[in-house]
């Protein structure tokens, strides 16, 4: 571990109105502190805790001015443990607490679809929405409570991954079920919204009229974007739907679930484990969900790994093709997410066959782009807007 600090860093942050963006994953917590006083929202420090809930983990934190550079090994039982480590490090280096903490929430249920300040009423609504995302909302609430305790003077804000998709038309958001279920909130919500919002911001104006964004990572989704607004997306009521993912099944014939319930007596918990943790790339390949490892195995002649990659890229390509029909063509295809950004093999396989809609990996018109999504910065920008409303 190395750590350097100076009194200058403490003095420089104490006079700033800063926003802390927290981006919680299944086994990680990313954090970034931004100065909201400047239009370009400069990054002051950032870091992450990885391996949360596992036997080994790591913690990194470094400041833009070079006065903090931490690299630790450690075990974190939960995201709240990781946040405690970050808050302690902030205090150890005499950095002032943030004015606002922005939290990425995967799901807020049917009544929380817009980024907003946290209030008692909002928290109660989150509690009531737990059944929409039982794996995500409880740890998010625990993280919010810990941030409220650790940064007592800061306002808390909730930024929803579903917010970007509030513009879905009824034919995209409503599922083919009796109307009473839609009225109870059983609809398509869509996810990766903060990632998609950040891509729209980075593309700027004027936006291409017909764009498709493919966020490809351990969780993957595709989104049809018309004039900067979401008009369809692959994930459904939960982040389990859509294309196959690292360990998630994506869309399945519902009859498969009925068959497993009847023949293997699987209950809801067993099905949840199967669909979220044992399926997708891991299901095809015999347990491997990392795309880099699958590409290597496939190159060595592993048929299961090759099947996993082919099924994954085919599903993404089919979804993009469907959105080309929906939009009446594609002016821009954007790849983002860990796989989308780093795997040329996946991008090539996805684009192979999209020539009919004018898309090719080596398109000289530049209609295929790779962009890094900036979820933490997007959270900070949302929070700056909310801070301005209460200033």
> Could you list the active site residues?
161
Instruction: Report cis status (omega within 30 of 0) of the bond before 206.
Output: yes
Query: In the sheet that 221-226 helps form, which strands lie side by side, from edge to edge?
Result: 229-233, 221-226, 210-215, 332-336, 368-370
Exposure letters 72-83 (e unless 16+ CB within 10 A, then b) = eeeebebbbbbb
């Amino acid at each position: 571990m190395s750590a350097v600090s100076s009194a200058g860093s403490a003095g420089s942050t104490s006079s700033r109105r800063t926003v802390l963006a927290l981006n919680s994953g299944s086994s990680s917590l990313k954090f970034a502190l931004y100065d909201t006083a400047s239009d370009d929202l400069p990054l002051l420090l950032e870091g992450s805790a990885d391996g949360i809930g596992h036997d080994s983990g790591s913690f990194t934190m470094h400041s833009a001015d070079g006065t903090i550079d931490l690299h630790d090994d450690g075990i974190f039982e939960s995201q709240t443990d990781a946040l405690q480590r970050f808050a302690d490090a902030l205090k150890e280096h005499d950095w002032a607490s943030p004015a606002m903490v922005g939290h990425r929430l995967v799901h807020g249920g049917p009544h929380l679809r817009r980024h907003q300040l946290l209030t008692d009423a909002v928290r109660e609504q989150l509690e009531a929405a737990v059944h929409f995302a039982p794996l995500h909302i409880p740890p998010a609430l625990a993280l919010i409570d810990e941030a409220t305790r650790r940064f007592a003077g800061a306002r808390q804000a909730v930024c929803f991954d579903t917010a970007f998709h509030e513009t879905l038309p009824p034919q995209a958001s409503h599922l083919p079920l009796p109307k009473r279920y839609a009225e109870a909130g059983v609809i398509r919500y869509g996810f990766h919204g903060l990632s998609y919002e950040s891509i729209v911001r980075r593309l700027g104006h004027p936006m291409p009229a017909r764009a498709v964004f493919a966020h490809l990572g351990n969780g993957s989704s595709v989104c049809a974007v018309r004039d900067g607004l979401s008009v369809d997306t692959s994930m459904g009521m939960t982040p389990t739907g859509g294309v196959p993912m690292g360990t998630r099944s994506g869309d399945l014939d519902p009859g498969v679930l009925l068959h497993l319930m009847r023949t293997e007596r699987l209950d809801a918990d067993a099905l949840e484990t199967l669909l979220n943790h044992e399926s997708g790339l891991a299901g095809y390949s015999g347990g491997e969900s990392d795309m880099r490892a699958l590409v290597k195995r496939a190159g060595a002649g592993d048929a299961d790994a090759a099947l996993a990659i082919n099924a994954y890229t085919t599903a993404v390509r089919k979804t993009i093709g469907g959105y080309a029909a929906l939009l009446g063509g594609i002016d821009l295809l954007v790849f983002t997410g860990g796989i989308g950004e780093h795997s040329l093999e996946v991008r090539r396989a996805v684009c192979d066959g999209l020539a009919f809609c004018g898309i090719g990996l080596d398109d000289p018109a530049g209609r295929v782009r790779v962009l890094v999504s900036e979820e933490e910065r997007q959270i900070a920008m949302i929070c700056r807007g909310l801070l301005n409303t209460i200033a």
